[in-house]
C-alpha cells in the first residue's frame, strides 16, 4: 500500500490503453482517448497550481480527469487520494500538421521543437514530414540547419529507420552541403545512399563531387568516392543487359566526374591518388577526352612518369581538337619533366625548337602583313591570360553567392534527369581547369605559337651551372640569342647570367662563360669585364686578375675608371707599388674620365630593392631559394614503381637497396610505391612495419616530411592488419601535421574486419603485450567514435 506522501509529486508515464483500463476497472466514467502517450501526475495541490508550476513548458491541449477516490487494478491497490490526475495527450497526427505548418511558414525553430517532441512521444514522424524537414533545412543554406538535417539522417540510419529517407531529398541535402563548403557530411550522405542501394545518377553526384573538389579535404574525398564507386564496376562486374541493374549503371563514373576528381587532386597535391584513378579508368571503360589527356599529362609530370608523357605525346600531336592553351600545358609538363630528370639536352633542344618556330612564324606574319595590310583596329592582338581564362571558363569572374546559384528543391525535383546539376558540374570543372592552366610557367603562347618564358631560362641556367656544364650553357644561350636576337649584346641572356654568377661569387663560371662568348665572336661592353675584375680583386685572386686583363686587351675592351681604381688599390694592398704606378700611368694616357659607368652595381641594387624582376633577379632568387634536385631519385622511383605495380616486390626491394647504395635518398614517393605494393599482395604487414620504422627515423633526423597520401596508405595497411599500436602512431603524426583523415573509410574498414575484436570480458590473466594490444585497439576504436 502506497501512502499519500509517497505518491506526492510522483510522475508515471502510462499508455492510453492502460489508463483506459485502470479508469474503467475502478468504476469511473471514462472517455476513449486517441492513441498517444499520457503523463499522469498525482498531487495534493490544486490543478491550476500544478499547471502553473510544473507544466509551463508543455504546449498543446491537455486532458484532465478528476478522481474522487482511489482505484484498484489487479495487484495494484491505492488508498483514497484527495487529488487530481493530469494527463497530457498530444495527437501525433495533429503534431505532424503543426510541424508541416511551421515548415511552410519558415518557422524552423518551432518546426524543430515540434519534431523533437514527436520524437520523444512517438518516435519519428511519417515519411513525408521527415523528408520535408530535410529539403526545407537544405534549401535554407544556413549551416546550423544543414547540420540539423544531417544529424537527422544519421539518427534515422542508426535507429534503422532509413526507409523513411527518400532518395531525392538525400541527394539534394548532399549537394547543398557540398556547395556550402561541408564536404565531409556531403560525402557521408552520398556514401549512405550507395550503402542503402539508393544509387544516385552520375549526373547528380558529379555536381556534388565538383563542389567538394574546391577544398583540399573535399578533393581527397572526391578521389576516394570515385575509387569506391568505380570498384563496383571494375572488370565488367555489372551486367548492363539486366534491367534490375539500370539504377546502378546510371551511377557509373563518366569522363566529367573523372576530370573533376583528377583536377581536384592536382590542385591540392594528391597526385599519387590521381594516378590510382588513372589506373582504374580502363577497368571501368572510361575514355579520355581532350581535357582528360591534358590532366593526365599534369599527373605524369608531377609523379615523374616521363615515359608515360612520351607515349601521350603521340596522341597530343595527332589530336585536331586541342586548343593552344592545352598544347601549352602539355609541352610545359614535358619540359618540366626533362628538367626533373636532369636531361638538359632534351630541355634546351625543346626551347631552341620553340624559338625557331616562333621566328619563322614572325617572319611569315611580317610577310603577310606587307602583302595584305591589316587594319590595327580590327586586329585581335595578343590575348591576355586573364581574358583567356574568362573566355574558357564561361564566366569565371562571376562571383555570385551560393544563394543565387542554388537550385530550389521544387526545381531540383522536377528535373528528373538532373540536367541542371550536370551543367553546374561542367561549369565548376571549367573553373578548376582554369586554375590548373594558370600554373603553367615555362611556356607562353603568342598567336598560337609556343614560346619559352624567362622562367625556363632561369631553370635551365641553374641546372647547367649546378651540373658544371658551363660550355654547354654558353652554347645554348648563344644559339638561343641567334634565334631570338636581343636589342643589344649588353642586354642578352648570357650577359645577365654572367652578372648573376658574379653576384653569387661563382667567378670561375662567369669567366668561362665570358671566354665562350669571346670565342664565339660575340662582343660585349666593358661593364661585364669590369664587374668580374673587381670581384677578382676583392677575392685577392692575382692570377685570375692578370688573365682577365689579358683577355680584355685581346678583345679590345677599354676598362672604366672604377676598374683602374680597383686595380691600383689591389696592387697597393699587395705592396706592388711598381705595378700600381704602371696602371695609374696607363689610365692617364688613356684619358679615362673619373665618372665611369656603374651598370653592374646599379643592376644588383635594383634586384635587392625589389625593382623590376628581370632575368638576373629571377635567377638569383631561384638559386638562393631552391636546393639542387637529385634527378637520379626520379629514375629509381620509376623502376620501383614499375616493380610494385607488377607486384614483383622482391625486385622492388632489390631496386630500393641499390638506390640507397648509390647515394640516392628515398622520398615519400618511393615509400608510397612500396607500401601500396605490399598492400596489393596482402599479408605483408611486417614489411610495412619495417618501412614505417625507417620513415620515422628519417623524419626525426632530417627535414623530410611525409605527405597525406603516404601516411594514409600506411594507416590503411595497419588498420587492415590490426596493427593498432602503429596505426595510432600514424594518426598522431597526421593530426600533428593537420592532415585530413577520412574517418568514415576507417570506421567502415574496422567494422568489416575487426567488429568483434575485444568485445567480450577482459581476461583475468593477460601478458603485458596482450594488454598493450588491447589498449591500442580500444584507443583507435575510441578515435573512430565507435565506443
Is the separation of the CB atoms in 673 and 647 below 8 Å? no
The superfamily in CATH containing domain 92-308+420-430 is Tetratricopeptide repeat domain (1.25.40.10)
Is the pLDDT at 391 greater than 50? The verdict is no
Is the pLDDT at 225 greater than 90? The verdict is yes
Three-class secondary structure of residue 2 per DSSP: strand
Radius of gyration of the chain (CA): 38
CA distance 530 to 552: 9
Is the pLDDT at 376 greater than 70? The verdict is no
* Percent of residues, the chain, with pLDDT higher than 70: 77
Assign 66 a pLDDT band (cuts: 50, 70, 90): very low
User: Residue 458 has what pLDDT?
Assistant: 85
CA distance 715 to 664: 26
Question: Computed from CA positions of residues 78, 80, 82, 84, in that sequence, does the dihedral angle turn out positive or negative?
Answer: positive
Q: 95-107 pLDDT, tens per residue?
A: 889 999 999 999 9
**For residue 558, what is its C-alpha cell?**
677599354
CB neighbourhood size of 91 (10 A): 17
pTM: 0.78
Exposed / middle / buried, residue 203 (Cβ in 10 Å: 0-12, 13-18, 19+): buried
The 3-class SS string of 434-458 reads HHHHCCCCCEEEECCEEEECHHHHH
CA dihedral 281, 287, 291, 297 (to 10 degrees): 50
Count CA atoms within 13 Å of residue 620 on its CB side: 21
**Which range among 170-174, 611-615, 704-708 has the greatest average pLDDT?**
170-174
Is the separation of the CB atoms in 442 and 454 below 8 Å? no
Is the pLDDT at 400 greater than 70? The verdict is no
Helical segments of 406-523, H only: 409-414, 419-437, 454-466, 470-483, 493-504, 507-519
Exposed / middle / buried, residue 4 (Cβ in 10 Å: 0-12, 13-18, 19+): middle
CA distance 725 to 679: 18
User: Residue 319 has what pLDDT?
Assistant: 82
Q: Which has the higher per-residue pLDDT, 509 or 386? A: 509
**For residue 3, what is its C-alpha cell?**
501512502
CA distance 656 to 646: 15
CA 69 to each of CA 10, 77, 275, 304, 432: distance values in angstroms, whole numbers, following the listed order: 17, 12, 81, 90, 78
Is the separation of the CB atoms in 72 and 25 below 8 Å? yes
Assign 169 a pLDDT band (cuts: 50, 70, 90): very high
Exposed / middle / buried, residue 374 (Cβ in 10 Å: 0-12, 13-18, 19+): exposed
Is the pLDDT at 675 greater than 70? The verdict is yes
Q: Which of 357, 363, 351 is nearest to 478 (CA)?
A: 351
The answer for residues whose C-beta is within 8 angstroms of residue 173's C-beta and 6 or more apart is 134, 135, 138, 146, 149, 150, 153, 189
Q: Which of 773, 678, 771 is nearest to 724 (CA)?
A: 773
Question: Computed from CA positions of residues 774, 778, 781, 787, in that sequence, does the dihedral angle turn out positive or negative?
Answer: positive
Q: Which of 673, 671, 686 is nearest to 726 (CA)?
A: 686
Is the pLDDT at 51 greater than 80? The verdict is no
CA distance 330 to 335: 9
CA distance 127 to 439: 49
Exposed / middle / buried, residue 346 (Cβ in 10 Å: 0-12, 13-18, 19+): middle
Across the chain, mean pLDDT equals: 79
User: Residue 726 has what pLDDT?
Assistant: 95
**For residue 130, what is its C-alpha cell?**
521527415
Average pLDDT over residues 279-296: 94
- The strand pair at 449-452 and 443-446 is best described as antiparallel
Is the separation of the CB atoms in 490 and 524 below 8 Å? yes
Q: 418-439 pLDDT, tens per residue?
A: 999 999 999 999 999 999 999 8
Angular region, 43: left φ>0, alpha ψ -120 to 50, beta rest = beta
**For residue 440, what is its C-alpha cell?**
603553367
Q: 585-598 pLDDT, tens per residue?
A: 777 666 666 544 44
Average pLDDT over residues 17-25: 45
CA distance 301 to 305: 6
Angle formed at CA 166 by CA 164 and CA 169, multiple of 5 degrees: 125
Q: 311-370 pLDDT, tens per residue?
A: 999 889 888 888 889 999 999 999 999 999 999 999 999 999 998 888 888 777 555 555
Structural element, H or E, at residue 757: none
CA distance 471 to 508: 12
**Which range among 21-25, 50-54, 68-72 has the greatest average pLDDT?**
21-25
Query: Which single residue is written with the C-alpha cell 672604377?
Result: 562
Is the separation of the CB atoms in 473 and 513 below 8 Å? yes
How distant is the alpha carbon of residue 435 from its chain centre?
Answer: 13
Three-class secondary structure of residue 165 per DSSP: coil
Average pLDDT over residues 400-408: 57
Average pLDDT over residues 675-680: 93
**For residue 311, what is its C-alpha cell?**
607515349
Average pLDDT over residues 284-303: 94
CA distance 489 to 479: 13
User: Residue 556 has what pLDDT?
Assistant: 77
Q: 69-91 pLDDT, tens per residue?
A: 333 333 333 333 333 333 344 68
Is the pLDDT at 629 greater than 70? The verdict is no
CA 786 to each of CA 456, 495, 781: distance values in angstroms, whole numbers, following the listed order: 53, 67, 6
CA 255 to each of CA 210, 350, 415, 564, 597: distance values in angstroms, whole numbers, following the listed order: 13, 31, 22, 70, 62
Is the pLDDT at 411 greater than 60? The verdict is yes
Three-class secondary structure of residue 406 per DSSP: coil
User: Residue 573 has what pLDDT?
Assistant: 77
CA distance 188 to 178: 11
Average pLDDT over residues 289-307: 95
Helical segments of 123-235, H only: 127-139, 143-158, 167-179, 183-195, 202-212, 216-231
Angular region, 655: left φ>0, alpha ψ -120 to 50, beta rest = alpha
Q: 450-488 pLDDT, tens per residue?
A: 888 888 888 888 888 888 888 898 889 888 888 776 545
Long-range CB contacts (within 8 A, 24+) of 293-298: 293/319, 293/322, 293/326, 293/330, 294/322, 294/326, 294/329, 294/330, 295/259, 295/262, 295/263, 295/266, 295/436, 296/262, 297/329, 297/330, 297/333, 297/334, 298/266, 298/329, 298/333, 298/436
Q: Which residues face 445 on adjacent strands?
A: 450
Q: 493-551 pLDDT, tens per residue?
A: 778 888 888 888 888 888 888 888 888 877 777 778 888 888 888 888 888 888 888 88
Amino acid at each position: 500500500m502506497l501512502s499519500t506522501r509517497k505518491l506526492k509529486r510522483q510522475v508515471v508515464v502510462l499508455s492510453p490503453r492502460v489508463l483506459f483500463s485502470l479508469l474503467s476497472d475502478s468504476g469511473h466514467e471514462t472517455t476513449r482517448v486517441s492513441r498517444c502517450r499520457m503523463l499522469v501526475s498525482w498531487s495534493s495541490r490544486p490543478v491550476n497550481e500544478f499547471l502553473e508550476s510544473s507544466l509551463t513548458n508543455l504546449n498543446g491541449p491537455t486532458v484532465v480527469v478528476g478522481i474522487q477516490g482511489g482505484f484498484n487494478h489487479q495487484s495494484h491497490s491505492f488508498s483514497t487520494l484527495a487529488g487530481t490526475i493530469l494527463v497530457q495527450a498530444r495527437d501525433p497526427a495533429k503534431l505532424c500538421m503543426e510541424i508541416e505548418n511551421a515548415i511552410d511558414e519558415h518557422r524552423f525553430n518551432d518546426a524543430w521543437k515540434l519534431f523533437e517532441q514527436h520524437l520523444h512521444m512517438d518516435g519519428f514522424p511519417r515519411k513525408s514530414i521527415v523528408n520535408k524537414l530535410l529539403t526545407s533545412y537544405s534549401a535554407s543554406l544556413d549551416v546550423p540547419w544543414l547540420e540539423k538535417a544531417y544529424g537527422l539522417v544519421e539518427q534515422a540510419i542508426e535507429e534503422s529507420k532509413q526507409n523513411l529517407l527518400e532518395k531525392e531529398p538525400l541527394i539534394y541535402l548532399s549537394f547543398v552541403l557540398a556547395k556550402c563548403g561541408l564536404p565531409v557530411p556531403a560525402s557521408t550522405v552520398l556514401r549512405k545512399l550507395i550503402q542503402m542501394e539508393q544509387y544516385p545518377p552520375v549526373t547528380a553526384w558529379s555536381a556534388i563531387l565538383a563542389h567538394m573538389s574546391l577544398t583540399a579535404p573535399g578533393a581527397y574525398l572526391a578521389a576516394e568516392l570515385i575509387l569506391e564507386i568505380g570498384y563496383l564496376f571494375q572488370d565488367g562486374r555489372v551486367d548492363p543487359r539486366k534491367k534490375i541493374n539500370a539504377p546502378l549503371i546510371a551511377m557509373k563514373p563518366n569522363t566529367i566526374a573523372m576530370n573533376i576528381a583528377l583536377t581536384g587532386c592536382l590542385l591540392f597535391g594528391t597526385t599519387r591518388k590521381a594516378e590510382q584513378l588513372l589506373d582504374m579508368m580502363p577497368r571501368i571503360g572510361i575514355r579520355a577526352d581532350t581535357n582528360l589527356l591534358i590532366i593526365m599529362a599534369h599527373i605524369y609530370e608531377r609523379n615523374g612518369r616521363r615515359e608515360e608523357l612520351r607515349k601521350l605525346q603521340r596522341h597530343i600531336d595527332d589530336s585536331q581538337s586541342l586548343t593552344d592553351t592545352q598544347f601549352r600545358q602539355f609541352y610545359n609538363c614535358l619540359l618540366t619533366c626533362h628538367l626533373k630528370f636532369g636531361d638538359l639536352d632534351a630541355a634546351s633542344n625543346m626551347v631552341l625548337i620553340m624559338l625557331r618556330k616562333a621566328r619563322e612564324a614572325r617572319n611569315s606574319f611580317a610577310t603577310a602583313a606587307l602583302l595584305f595590310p591589316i587594319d590595327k583596329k580590327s586586329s585581335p592582338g595578343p590575348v591576355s591570360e586573364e581574358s583567356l581564362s574568362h573566355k574558357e571558363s564561361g564566366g569565371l569572374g562571376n562571383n555570385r553567392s551560393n544563394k543565387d546559384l542554388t537550385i530550389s528543391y521544387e526545381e531540383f525535383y522536377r528535373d528528373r534527369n538532373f540536367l541542371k546539376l550536370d551543367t553546374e558540374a561542367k561549369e565548376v570543372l571549367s573553373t578548376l581547369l582554369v586554375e590548373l592552366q594558370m600554373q603553367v610557367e615555362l611556356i607562353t603562347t603568342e598567336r598560337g605559337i609556343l614560346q619559352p618564358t624567362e622562367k625556363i631560362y632561369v631553370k635551365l641556367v641553374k641546372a647547367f651551372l649546378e651540373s658544371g656544364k658551363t660550355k654547354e650553357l654558353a652554347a645554348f644561350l648563344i644559339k638561343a640569342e641567334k634565334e631570338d636576337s636581343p636589342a643589344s649584346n649588353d642586354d642578352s641572356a648570357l650577359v645577365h647570367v654572367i652578372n648573376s654568377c658574379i653576384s653569387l661569387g661563382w667567378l670561375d663560371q662567369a669567366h668561362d662563360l665570358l671566354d665562350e662568348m669571346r670565342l664565339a665572336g660575340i662582343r660585349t661592353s666593358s661593364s661585364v669585364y669590369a664587374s668580374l675584375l673587381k670581384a677578382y680583386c676583392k677575392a685577392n685572386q692575382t692570377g685570375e686578375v692578370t688573365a682577365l686583363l689579358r683577355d680584355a686587351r685581346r678583345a679590345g675592351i677599354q676598362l672604366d675608371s672604377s676598374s683602374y681604381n680597383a686595380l691600383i688599390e689591389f696592387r697597393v694592398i699587395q705592396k706592388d707599388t711598381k705595378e700600381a704606378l704602371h696602371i695609374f700611368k696607363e689610365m692617364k694616357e688613356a684619358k679615362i674620365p673619373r665618372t665611369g659607368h656603374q651598370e653592374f652595381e646599379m643592376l644588383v641594387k635594383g634586384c635587392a630593392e625589389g625593382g623590376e624582376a628581370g632575368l638576373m633577379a629571377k635567377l638569383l632568387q631561384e638559386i638562393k631559394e631552391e636546393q639542387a634536385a637529385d634527378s637520379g631519385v626520379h629514375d629509381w622511383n620509376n623502376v620501383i614503381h614499375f616493380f610494385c605495380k607488377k607486384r614483383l616486390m622482391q625486385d622492388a626491394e632489390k631496386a630500393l637497396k641499390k638506390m640507397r647504395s648509390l647515394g640516392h635518398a628515398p622520398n615519400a614517393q618511393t615509400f608510397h610505391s612500396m607500401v601500396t605494393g605490399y598492400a596489393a599482395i596482402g599479408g605483408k604487414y611486417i614489411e610495412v612495419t619495417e618501412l614505417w620504422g625507417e620513415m620515422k627515423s628519417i623524419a626525426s633526423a632530417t627535414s623530410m616530411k611525409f605527405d597525406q597520401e603516404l601516411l594514409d596508405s600506411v594507416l590503411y595497411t595497419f588498420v587492415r592488419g590490426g596493427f593498432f599500436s602503429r596505426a595510432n602512431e600514424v594518426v598522431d603524426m597526421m593530426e600533428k601535421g593537420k592532415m585530413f583523415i577520412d574517418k568514415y573509410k576507417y570506421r567502415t574498414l574496422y567494422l568489416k574486419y575487426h567488429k568483434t575484436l575485444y568485445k567480450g570480458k577482459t581476461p583475468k590473466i593477460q601478458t603485458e603485450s596482450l594488454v598493450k594490444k588491447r589498449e591500442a585497439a580500444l584507443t583507435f576504436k575510441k578515435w573512430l567514435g565507435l565506443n
